[in-house]
């Protein structure tokens, strides 16, 4: 078959198996999934109510401009209406950046390890991915700035970074921005920003009006808002950048349920706060127990964290799975001895800890 080399070289994003399949395969019941950084509380009840109200309109196309949702985001975050971009998940906005600003042979600088989709999306358009290793689990912004060449068009900063949960400080970020050429597009992926407790970090929204480097702040409804299944993410950028992103967008990329669900979720401060408290208390509990077990972990500003194991992560992952606890083995990220665990409900966190205790005695 005739296919370009850059497409042939792509390693697809590994899909997780459906929970029901895993249960069947391993002969287990009531499995818990702490693998995809989803919201353990479910979805905002206000979003569910709003979605139910439009179910009778599914024969209609959604509003192709997502007018009400953009209006709400503009008011809530105090950004110009024309600087708002919406995507079928924030993933789609990363793809739009790639299609709008990267050509074959251009370079994109990404941290490593980080979210796998940055690499894949750039490979689709034949761009060269320049990865810069983390330093002590944190983004090496100095290293990233010095990897920029005259072929670099896009730089990705993941704050907090998946899978490490670490953040960049405001000082590091501002020093970094000063080193970048004015025509660079800096995508700051803030998928987990709602969970940040460390006050020294920064929000990319404050920098979107710079006229170079051009900052694109990406956020999502998939995590803190509990709408991962609807696929909706949003971005803030300079209106000129947003206009180019809009040109490569599918006309009805945000479905009707996602538009109304997201709109209602933005008004549900109570759900958001409850989510944050659940994650923060859960993290503190998990840190304490992991400490008691004498294991090391990477303190996190997100709703997941990395645990370092004395044995291979794959074997622990399998043994946990047999006990109905699904986490992520990080070998595909080059971290052979680490698992990434999403914070769950208190009872799920307890179940994970007791399963891990048993497993470590066994392996």
Ligand X SMILES: Cc1ncc(COP(=O)(O)O)c(C=O)c1O
Stretch that binds ligand X, among 44-52, 83-91, 101-109, 123-131 (CB under 6 A): 83-91
Helix (H) or strand (E) holding 316: helix 313-322
10 Å Cβ neighbour count for 1? Answer: 3
Q: Which of 101, 115, 244, 271 binds ligand X (CB under 6 A)?
A: 115
Give the up-direction half-sphere exposure of residue 51: CA atoms within 13 A in the CB hemisphere.
16
The verdict on 228 binding ligand X (CB under 6 A) reads: yes
Minimum CB distance to ligand X, residue 90 (Å): 4
Nearer to ligand X, 19 or 117 (CB): 117
The verdict on 238 binding ligand X (CB under 6 A) reads: no
Query: What gap in Å lies between CA 31 and CA 324, rounded to an integer?
Result: 4
Helix (H) or strand (E) holding 358: helix 346-362
Stretch that binds ligand X, among 19-27, 44-52, 220-228, 317-325 (CB under 6 A): 220-228
The verdict on 191 binding ligand X (CB under 6 A) reads: yes
Closest among 96, 76, 77, 75 to 85, alpha carbons compared:
96
Minimum CB distance to ligand X, residue 300 (Å): 12
Query: What gap in Å lies between CA 271 and CA 248, rounded to an integer?
Result: 34
Helix (H) or strand (E) holding 234: strand 233-236
The verdict on 222 binding ligand X (CB under 6 A) reads: yes
- Cα dihedral sign, 173-176-182-184: negative
Count of residues of this chain found to bind ligand X when the rule CB under 6 A is applied: 13
Closest among 321, 317, 313 to 22, alpha carbons compared:
321
Residues 20-79 that bind ligand X (CB under 6 A): 37
Nearer to ligand X, 39 or 91 (CB): 91
Could you tell me if 160 and 302 are in contact, meaning their C-beta atoms sit under 8 angstroms apart? yes
Stretch that binds ligand X, among 20-28, 86-94, 103-111, 240-248 (CB under 6 A): 86-94
Nearer to ligand X, 194 or 319 (CB): 194
Residues 130-149 that bind ligand X (CB under 6 A): none
Nearer to ligand X, 35 or 353 (CB): 35
Q: Which of 162, 184, 301, 349 binds ligand X (CB under 6 A)?
A: 162
The encoded tokens of residue 29 equal 């019941």
The verdict on 159 binding ligand X (CB under 6 A) reads: no
The verdict on 220 binding ligand X (CB under 6 A) reads: yes
How far is CA 180 from each of CA 148, 205, 213, 267, 319, rounded to the nearest angstrom?
A: 8, 18, 7, 37, 46
Binding site for ligand X (CB under 6 A): 37, 89-91, 115, 158, 162, 189, 191, 220, 222, 228, 233
């Amino acid at each position: 078959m005739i296919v370009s080399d850059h497409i042939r070289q792509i390693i697809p994003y590994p899909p997780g198996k459906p929970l029901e399949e895993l249960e069947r395969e391993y002969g287990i019941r009531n499995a818990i999934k702490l693998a995809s950084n989803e919201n353990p509380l479910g979805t905002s009840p206000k979003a569910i109510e709003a979605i139910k109200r439009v179910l009778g309109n599914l024969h209609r196309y959604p509003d192709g401009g997502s007018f009400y949702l953009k209006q709400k985001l503009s008011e809530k975050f105090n950004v110009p209406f024309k600087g708002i971009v919406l995507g079928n998940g924030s993933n789609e906005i990363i793809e739009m950046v790639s299609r709008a600003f990267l050509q074959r042979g251009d370079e994109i600088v990404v941290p490593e390890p980080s979210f796998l989709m940055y690499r894949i999306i750039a490979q689709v358009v034949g761009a060269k991915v320049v990865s810069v290793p983390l330093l002590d689990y944190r983004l090496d912004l100095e290293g990233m700035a010095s990897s920029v060449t005259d072929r670099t068009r896009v730089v990705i900063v993941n704050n907090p970074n998946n899978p490490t949960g670490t953040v960049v400080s405001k000082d590091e970020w501002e020093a970094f921005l000063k080193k970048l050429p004015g025509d660079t597009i800096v995508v700051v992926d803030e998928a987990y920003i709602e969970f940040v407790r460390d006050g020294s970090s920064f929000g990319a929204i404050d920098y979107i009006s710079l006229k170079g480097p051009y900052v694109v702040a990406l956020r999502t409804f998939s995590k803190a808002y509990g709408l991962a299944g609807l696929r909706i993410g949003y971005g803030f950028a300079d209106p000129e950048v947003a206009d180019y992103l809009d040109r490569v967008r599918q006309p009805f990329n945000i479905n009707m349920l996602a538009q109304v669900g997201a709109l209602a979720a933005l008004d549900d401060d109570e759900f958001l706060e409850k989510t944050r408290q659940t994650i923060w208390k859960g993290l503190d509990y998990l840190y304490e127990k992991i400490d008691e077990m004498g294991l090391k972990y990477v303190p996190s500003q997100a709703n997941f964290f990395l645990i370092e194991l004395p044995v291979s992560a794959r074997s622990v992952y399998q043994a946990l799975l047999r006990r109905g606890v699904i986490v992520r083995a990080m070998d595909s990220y080059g971290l052979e001895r680490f698992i990434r665990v999403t914070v769950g409900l208190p009872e799920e966190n307890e179940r994970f800890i007791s399963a891990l205790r048993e497993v470590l005695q066994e392996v």
